[in-house]
Amino acid sequence: MSIDHNERLLTPGEVAVMFRVDPKTVTRWASGGRIGSIRTPGGHRRFRESEVRTLLAELTFDVDAAG
Amino acid sequence: MSIDHNERLLTPGEVAVMFRVDPKTVTRWASGGRIGSIRTPGGHRRFRESEVRTLLAELTFDVDAAG
DNA sequence: CATTATTAGGGTAATTCGGGTA
DNA sequence: ATTGTCCGAATTACCCTAATAA
């Protein structure tokens, strides 16, 4: 019984833990279009794991070396 | 709303994986009419794959990235 | 018929939403 | 401008047992 879902989804709380921020902050990122999100029919947000990891990787490359 | 013979039916558990929710939540969606469902003679619910995928796509947000 | 996994149904925590505020 | 927190309301997750599915 394998489903052809090509993407794993994360909850706001899980993303919040990964970024070490409050879930509310993740919600704001979604509202502002900084991160893509999917809504459940009930209105709760889900986030694509691949996108989240990409954002995390980008943070890694940002060494705050602003001039 | 007739059933297409070529349509694949999904179990509550399979739909739950796609939305990253508990199977019980999918049941509530069906009870509340948020998603169409078909009952087996034994009372178990089945969901149309096409409808689920359509719903998933419609609930996909890509708010314009405000600067 | 026996076995194992999933689902139904109900009830109760936990999470999330949305707005407003610091 | 971004984040954290408080609030009430809604949605979702986890607990159980019995029934259905395969």
Structure tokens given for A20: 């070490």
> Got the DSSP string for B3-61?
PPTTPPEE-HHHHHHHHTS-HHHHHHHHHTTSS--EE-TTS-EEEEHHHHHHHHHHTEE
Give which of B21, B11, B2 is closest to B49, Cα–Cα. B11
d(CA A45, CA A33): 13
| Nearest CB partner across the interface for B29, out of A31, A37, A41 | A41
Residue range B10-57, pLDDT digits in tens = 999 999 999 999 999 999 999 999 999 999 999 999 999 999 999 998
Q: How would residue B64 be classed by pLDDT, with cut points 50, 70 and 90?
A: very low
pLDDT of res. B7 = 85
Chain B residue closest in CA terms to A10: B20
Q: How many CA atoms lie within 13 A of B41 on its CB side?
A: 0
Write down the pLDDT at residue A14: 98
Which is nearest to A5 in space by CA: B13, B43, B30? B13
pLDDT in tens, A11-65: 999 999 999 999 999 999 999 999 999 999 999 999 999 999 999 998 766 665 5
**pLDDT interval class at B1 (50, 70, 90):** low
Is the CB of residue B5 less than 8 Å away from at least one CB of chain A?
no
Domain ranges of chain A: 9-66
What's the CA A2/C1' D16 distance, rounded, in angstroms? 29
Query: With an 8 Å Cβ cutoff, is A15 touching chain B?
Result: no
B44 in Cβ contact with B24 (< 8 Å): no
Q: Is the CB of A39 under 7 A from strand D?
A: no
Architecture of the B9-66 domain: Orthogonal Bundle (1.10)
pTM, two decimals, is 0.87
* Higher local confidence (pLDDT), A3 or B61: B61
Q: Tell me if chain B has a CB within 8 Å of the CB of A54.
A: no
The whole-angstrom separation of Cα B60 and Cα A44 is 12
Question: Can you give the distance from the CA of residue A37 to the C1' of nucleotide D22 in angstroms?
Answer: 36
Question: Do B45 and B39 meet the contact criterion of CB atoms below 8 Å apart?
Answer: yes
Q: Determine the pLDDT at residue B49.
A: 97
Say if residue A57 is exposed, middle or buried (CB neighbours under 10 Å; 0-12, 13-18, 19+): exposed
